[in-house]
Amino acid sequence: MPVTPVDLAGKKILITGPTGQVALPVVEHYAKMADVHTLARFSKQADVDRIEALGASVIAADLADAKAIASIPGDFDYVLNFAVVKSGNFDYDLAANGEGIGNLMTRCKQARGFLHISSTAVYEYNGHEPRKESDPLGDNHRAMFPTYSISKIAAETVCRFVARQHGIPTTIARLNVPYGDNGGWMYFHMLMMQQGIPIDIHPERPNNYNPIHVDDYIEKIPYLLGAASADVTTTNFGGSEQVSIEQWCALISELTGFEPLYNETRTAFGSLAIDTTRMHELIGRTRVDWREGIRSQLQALAPDVLVRG
């Protein structure tokens, strides 16, 4: 049986990385029922206005700046860390992603629960074998994002250390291909198909993943917090259905008439499907069928391209 989800209604919640594709719908959803505060650098006034229009408060600070983080409120009930920096500069990215989570957790060490959103990009490539949480880690995304995998591994390490030092109930969730009506990898693939741009795929086909729809990851956040422990719970976090790039591009082709062009290269990410055993034990199965999710995405973002509803 899944864990008991926490009740976030009326709670004081801090969400980092709020302007990103993954976290923005989370802010929008929970700001309707909780006291939501958001933390980012907020260099654009448009971002501030957008977040405040959703009913959330804004805290402007850089996670890499320990002094700035030490001055923010520390009395949050729950912290959801979606922040990620991938500038390509190792010094800054390790400071923001690795040291940054240490700064944040140290400041918010009284929290009832801390959720760190990591990535399945931490796993070493291993063909079509679904990755278990105990599998070897590696520099998976180097070809496209030079600092990403290493920064994510560093962030997990710091997260575990601080959680155990201060007894902070924590879950590390390794996210796998989030998408929804506001964007995601499939939408970019549609744009590439529309423009005749080849899509990089690994020659060891099919290129399998476990995409998770925004409705599912929003619904599962209280369960992930319910699974948090001071010894740190680490789990994969993706859709219950395994799907390949080739499959979702075929569906996009069926819906739009655009044909995918593939560029086989061993520098592509390759299959990164997950073993869902622990995830299902902790938080249960996801509900959104990937076909319906992609159809809804295209209807929301590019209805004019659809030749079939």
pLDDT exceeds cutoff 70 at 309: no
Are 176 and 123 within 8 A, CB to CB?
Answer: no
In percent, how much of the chain has pLDDT > 90?
Answer: 95
CB 108, CB 159: distance < 8 Å? no
pLDDT of residue 212: 98
Mean pLDDT throughout 112-126? 97
Task: Please give the model's pTM, rounded to 2 decimal places.
Answer: 0.97
Q: Are 225 and 78 in contact, with CB atoms under 8 Å apart?
A: yes
List, for residues 39-67, the tens digit of each pLDDT value: 999 999 999 999 999 999 999 999 999 99
Give domain 181-208+241-274+288-305's CATH number out of 3.30.70, 3.40.50, 3.30.310, 3.90.25: 3.90.25
Each residue's pLDDT tens digit, 254-263? 999 999 999 9
The mean predicted confidence, pLDDT, of the chain is 96
Percent of the chain at pLDDT > 70 equals 99
Which pLDDT band holds residue 308 (cuts at 50, 70, 90)?
A: low
For domain 12-179+211-237, the question of CATH label 3.40.50.720 is answered with yes
pLDDT at 246: 98
Going by C-alpha positions, the residue among 65, 63, 144, 182 that lies closest to residue 119 is 144
**Tens of pLDDT along 214-252?**
999 999 999 999 999 999 999 999 999 999 999 999 999
Looking up tokens 């989370």 gives 26
Domain ranges of the chain: 12-179+211-237, 181-208+241-274+288-305
Residue 24: which of 266, 217, 198 has the closest Cα? Answer: 217
Residue 142's pLDDT is 80
